[in-house]
Amino acid sequence: MTDPALSVALASAGTAAVTIFAAGALRGWQSWLDVRRIQIGGRPAAGRADLAELRDRIRRLEAIANGAEL
């Protein structure tokens, strides 16, 4: 039969390997979710900057349409 110490060592090594694999998989999953959140929702600060830029462009175009000099 097998030595009990060997069985305990193999079980411990197997448990450690599964734990390391699961931790790596969880980290990868969380990173993937972060990427998807950025792709879907974008960054709120960037959205506000884009909106401010669009408002500024509209204001300038309206001024040009009204004949005003910038």
19 domain residue, yes or no:
yes
| Residues with Cβ within 8 Å of residue 60, at least 6 apart in sequence | 70
Q: Looking at residue 32, what is its pLDDT?
A: 94
Q: Encoding tokens for residue 13?
A: 């090594």
57 domain residue, yes or no:
yes
43 domain residue, yes or no:
yes
70 domain residue, yes or no:
no
Residue listed under structure tokens 């005003």: 68
What is the total count of domains within the chain?
Answer: 1
Instruction: Residue 55: give the domain boundaries.
Output: 4-65
Q: Encoding tokens for residue 36?
A: 């998807």
17 domain residue, yes or no:
yes
Contact criterion met (CB below 8 Å) for 63 and 70: yes
Residue pLDDT, tens place only, 11-20: 999 999 999 9
Residue pLDDT, tens place only, 4-39: 999 999 999 999 999 999 999 999 999 999 999 888
d(CA 4, CA 8): 6
